[in-house]
Structure 1
Amino acid sequence: MYDPTRLAALVAVAEAGSITRAAERLGYTTPALSQQLAKLEREAGTALLVRHHRGARLTGAGELLVARARRVLDELERARHELARLSGLSGGTLRLGTFQTAGIHLLPPALSAFRRAHPDVELTVADYEPSAGVSAVAAGEVDLALTHAYAPGDPLPLPSAVRIEPILVEELVLVSAPGHALTSGTARLPLAELAGQPLISMAPDAPARRGVEALLARSGATPSVRVPTPGYLLVCALASAGLGVAVVPEMVARTSVTPVGVRALEGGDLRRTVSVAFRSEETAPAADAFRALLRGTFGRAGQP
């Protein structure tokens, strides 16, 4: 049986004409989406896509499967809508908290799918720093909040009433000005190559980034610009302008609004895990449905 998440990925590529554009639309990293498509091709037993320099196009088998997939996905959406009415999701409110990166790149496709399935649920979205979002869940200000933790780093401290569920793991990558020598190669870059390099230090005093910053310092990177507030748009803009190199989540690098060079780092030891925080002893149909949607949309994407 074909995985509906992978079928949706194939439909997205067919509509976008490119794996990269489809990944941006779905909130995946490009490698994670490529991995899902490769698994679908193995399930189908044949090639579904032909990659070319402008993007990707469907093979004959891919066109056949996309036509069927659209019908399957439409039926699943109808089923979700009908079940929602049975389970009390024909009204009410879902209050969400999010940090900026997730709010820009992860929430929109998930909320679009939720709205299609549950059009009568009122949605509210508030912007929080990750730790503040967890506190807002504990205080009952929001039903769910997207948060994150970095590796290396200390676990996110949680109030006793709150649990977190990981939904996406992504690597941290190096970004630089376009054409920089460090990002011109295709092989993974050893961290030792950062020795003596001017580093845009990302939120060096923030607990979530402290372990990452310490590892970069041990590798010999020299802070040239410190950005004490966690703003990746600014960090990428500074890197693009040649003020130093930076280490950011892959999702941020691939969707930077300023042109940057990007290169994966050796070992894959630098990672960010995005999770959803929720109150462990409360059940709310809308919140439970949205958590399930997040698991289905992102649960296998980016897993190491």
Structure 2
Amino acid sequence: MYDPTRLAALVAVAEAGSITRAAARLGYTAPALSQQLAKLEREAGTALLVRHRHGTRLTAAGELLAARARRVLDELDRARYELASLTGLSGGRLRVGTFMTAGAHVLPPVLSAFRRAHPDVELGVVEFEPPAGVEAVARGEVDLALTHVYRPGPVAQPPAGVRLETLLTEELVLVTAPGHALSAGAGRLPLTELAGQPLISSAPANSHRREVEAELARAGASVAVRCETPGYVLVCALVSAGLGVAVVPEMMAAVAVAPLGVRRLGPPELGRTISVAYRTGERAPAADTLRALLRGGFARRGAVRTGAG
């Protein structure tokens, strides 16, 4: 049986005309999407794609499978909609909180899948810098919210009536300008190797990063540029320009537009856990459905990042 995620990838390439554009549409990296398509070709037992100078086109077999895939995906969407009608998801409003990274790179395809299945539900999205989204869930301002914590760092208990469900645990990795000596080696880079390195820092403005950057300071890294916002897009752009090195979530290193060198760190290993906060003790079919889609979206993100699945 073909994996619907891989079928959706084939349809995206057929519509976008290139793996790079399809990957951007789906929120994947191009190499990761290529791996999924290669697995689909092995399942099909024949070539589905032909790469050329201007992009990618489907073979005759690819066109045939893409046509069937569209029907399969349409039927799955129809099934979701019909099930939603049975469970009361034929109207109403769903308010979602998110932080910048997830809002830009994971949430859009998940909301797109939700909208295809439940077009009558009004969607609202609000950006919060964690942990403010958790408090917004407790106050009833949003129905659920994506949030995160860093390792090392304090882990606060959620407010009464709010539960946190872990969606993804990822490492923090070193990013450098392309060709930098620290990104050239194999294996993990001990934090002590960062001694004397100019660091692009987002603390103390980004309070959740303070413990992480305290760990980097103990290793001897010295702040070269201090970003007063927690935007990793800007941090990665500054690193790519050669203004220093930085430690960022693996997800951000994978989707960065600017060219970077990347290397894993440790010991000790640094990390970030992404969770969804939601209220307990109330019937919320729309929020429950979106949580299920988020679980799938983050699971695919983790599988694509590691080449698994």
Give the TM-score taking structure 2 as reference length.
0.82
Match of 1:271 in 2: 271
* Secondary structure in structure 2 of the residue aligned to 1:299: helix
User: CA 1:156–1:36 in 2, change beyond 3 Å: closer, same or farther?
Assistant: farther
* 1:199-226 C-alpha deviation (Å, 9 max, x unpaired): 1123247453234324433443222223
Match of 2:81 in 1: 81
* Alpha-carbon distance between aligned partners in 1 of 2:6 and 2:231, rounded to the nearest angstrom: 32
Match of 1:143 in 2: 143
* Alpha-carbon distance between aligned partners in 1 of 2:189 and 2:203, rounded to the nearest angstrom: 23
* 1:131-179 C-alpha deviation (Å, 9 max, x unpaired): 0001111111100111122234443531231122233344433333445
User: CA 1:44–1:163 in 2, change beyond 3 Å: closer, same or farther?
Assistant: farther
Match of 2:196 in 1: 196
* Alpha-carbon distance between aligned partners in 2 of 1:139 and 1:50, rounded to the nearest angstrom: 53
CA contact (8 A) 2:200 2:243 kept: yes
Letter in 2 for 1:225: V
User: CA 1:189–1:60 in 2, change beyond 3 Å: closer, same or farther?
Assistant: farther
CA contact (8 A) 1:249 1:272 kept: yes
CA contact (8 A) 1:180 1:261 kept: no
Deviating more after overlay: 9-18 vs 292-301 = 9-18
In the alignment, does 2:94 pair up with 1:94? yes
* Secondary structure in structure 2 of the residue aligned to 1:135: helix
Match of 1:280 in 2: 280
* Alpha-carbon distance between aligned partners in 1 of 2:180 and 2:17, rounded to the nearest angstrom: 29
In structure 2, stretches of 5+ residues that fail to align are: none
Letter in 2 for 1:10: L
TM superposition shift of 1:18: 4.5
Q: How high is the sequence identity, in percent, across the aligned residues?
A: 71
In structure 1, stretches of 5+ residues that fail to align are: none
CA contact (8 A) 1:166 1:276 kept: yes
In the alignment, does 2:302 pair up with 1:302? yes
* Secondary structure in structure 1 of the residue aligned to 2:95: strand
CA contact (8 A) 1:186 1:263 kept: no
* 1:199-254 C-alpha deviation (Å, 9 max, x unpaired): 11232474532343244334432222233542223322332333211112233334
* Alpha-carbon distance between aligned partners in 2 of 1:60 and 1:194, rounded to the nearest angstrom: 52
Q: Give 1:192-271 correspondences, 5 Å limit.
A: 192-204=192-204, 206-256=206-256, 259-266=258-265, 269-271=269-271
* Alpha-carbon distance between aligned partners in 1 of 2:171 and 2:52, rounded to the nearest angstrom: 26
Give the TM-score taking structure 1 as reference length.
0.83
Aligned-pair Cα RMSD in Å: 3.1
Match of 2:176 in 1: 176
Q: Give 1:5-16 correspondences, 5 Å limit.
A: 5-16=5-16
In the alignment, does 2:42 pair up with 1:69? no
Match of 2:114 in 1: 114
Aligned residues: 302
* Secondary structure in structure 1 of the residue aligned to 2:131: helix
